[in-house]
Amino acid sequence: MTYALNVNGRMHSVDVDGDIPLLWVLRDVIGLTGTKFGCGIGICGACTVHFDGQAVRSCVTSIEHSASSEITTIEEVGETATGARIQQAWLAEEVVQCGYCSPARSSRRRSRSRSDQALPIPRLRARIRPVN
Average pLDDT, the chain: 82
What pLDDT is stored for residue 14 in this prediction?
A: 97
9-18, 52-61, 122-131: least confident range: 122-131
Of residues 27 and 74, more confidence is placed in: 27
Assign 97 a pLDDT band (cuts: 50, 70, 90): low
What pLDDT is stored for residue 67 in this prediction?
A: 86
Please count the CA atoms within 13 angstroms of the CA of 22 that sit on its side-chain side: 29
pLDDT above 60: residue 51: yes
The candidate with the shortest Cα–Cα distance to 32, out of 77, 92, 65, 1, is 77
Could you give phi then psi for residue 11, rounded to 5 degrees?
-85, 135
